[in-house]
Amino acid sequence: MNRPNPITRKLAVSFAMLVFVGIALMFVASEYTAYQVTTALAYGIAILGLNILTGYNGQFSIGHSAFFAAGAYVSAILITFAGWHPYATLPIAAAVTFSMGFLFGFPALRLEGLYLALATFALAVATPQILKVDALEHWTGGVQGLFFDKPDPIFAGLSVDHSLYLVTWLVFVVLMVGAWMLLHSRSGRAIMAIRDNPIAASTMGINLALYKTTTFGISAMLAGVGGAFFALANSFVSPDTFNFFIAVYLLVGSVVGGIVSIPGALLGGLFYVFGQEYAEEFSNLSEMIPPPWVTFGVLLILMMYFAPFGIWGAIERGWARLKR
């Protein structure tokens, strides 16, 4: 029999704590807050994908809004045209975006660093245009997009928003644990070895192409699942929701949360949604204060000066100092 080692125990404790916190939060949060947190979690799931790809595998992407959009549209189309149950669409959204990411991973193999960032940047900018194309209008709803209902509560007595929040939270926790296990496995070490020294990794017999395309696929899949939850939370998708800025927000959330971390994804999603809200409140204080996005931009730059490894990085470093 395997004895549970301390790391596994730490993981189990974190898992239990996160589930507990999620359920506890549900009782105190208003419907609107529940909706906000759901949105933050949807971004968080996508950011998790970005962290795995960029932080752990060293491949850039500022085009994850494309996969985010794809996941959202797959869900929306299946709900609207096939009448599927909203949650039943999630695996399909995951499968479709995994394939998309896996396929995009091949051209990505030939591109390095900033070139890859640029190619994905272009992908992000092109996405709304593709969604608006006349030929696809029947399925995508063109510029108008698609409207549908939020999923019914999973059990009676729960509001629609609280129910969706709970499901999103649980899925997120499971995905975080999954990501943790992946990155601490043999494959995870391969993924990181590729980031640190691709040549050495390949001489050790790691199949670079396979690992990189698969990682791209997994990352895109997480972005797709995040996008699907985002669509469910808003009960609506439209091309301009998924403009290039979503890709930027995901990257911002990723770096701000801590790009080489798993909990950072959660923090990044929360930062994005609530940081924006606080920036907005701050701007409303006076006519003299510039609009929220200016404040947010300044906040971002300051974060990079004072917490270069993101919020989770700062927490880890602070903790290490306390223990010393």
- Kindly list the residues in this chain that would bind another protein in the complex (CB under 8 A): 54, 62, 107, 110-111, 113-115, 117-119, 121-123, 125-126, 129-130, 132-135, 244, 248, 251-252, 254-256, 259, 290-294, 296-301, 303-305, 308
Q: What is the DSSP letter of 240?
A: G
154 vs 298, which CB is nearer to another protein?
A: 298
**What tokens appear for 88 in the block?**
């039943």
151 vs 264, which CB is nearer to another protein?
A: 264
Element containing residue 146 per DSSP (H, E): strand 146-147
162 vs 195, which CB is nearer to another protein?
A: 195
Report, in Å, the least distance between residue 232 CB and another protein.
28
Helices 208-234 and 89-109 meet at what angle, rounded to 10?
140
Report, in Å, the least distance between residue 85 CB and another protein.
33
Report, in Å, the least distance between residue 214 CB and another protein.
20
Report, in Å, the least distance between residue 70 CB and another protein.
15
Report, in Å, the least distance between residue 54 CB and another protein.
7
104 vs 148, which CB is nearer to another protein?
A: 104
For 62, 278, 286, 288, 291, the CA distances from 299, given in Å and listed in that order, are 20, 11, 18, 17, 13
> What three-state secondary structure class fits 112?
coil
Report, in Å, the least distance between residue 280 CB and another protein.
12
Residues 6 or more apart in contact with residue 289 via CB below 8 angstroms: 282, 283, 295
- Round to whole Å and give the CA distance between 218 and 99: 9
- Sign of the C-alpha dihedral computed for residues 187, 181, 215 and 120 taken in this order: negative
4 vs 291, which CB is nearer to another protein?
A: 291
Chain-centroid distance, C-alpha 171? 12
What HEC string does 145-176 produce? CEECCCCCCCCCCCCHHHHHHHHHHHHHHHHH
169 vs 244, which CB is nearer to another protein?
A: 244
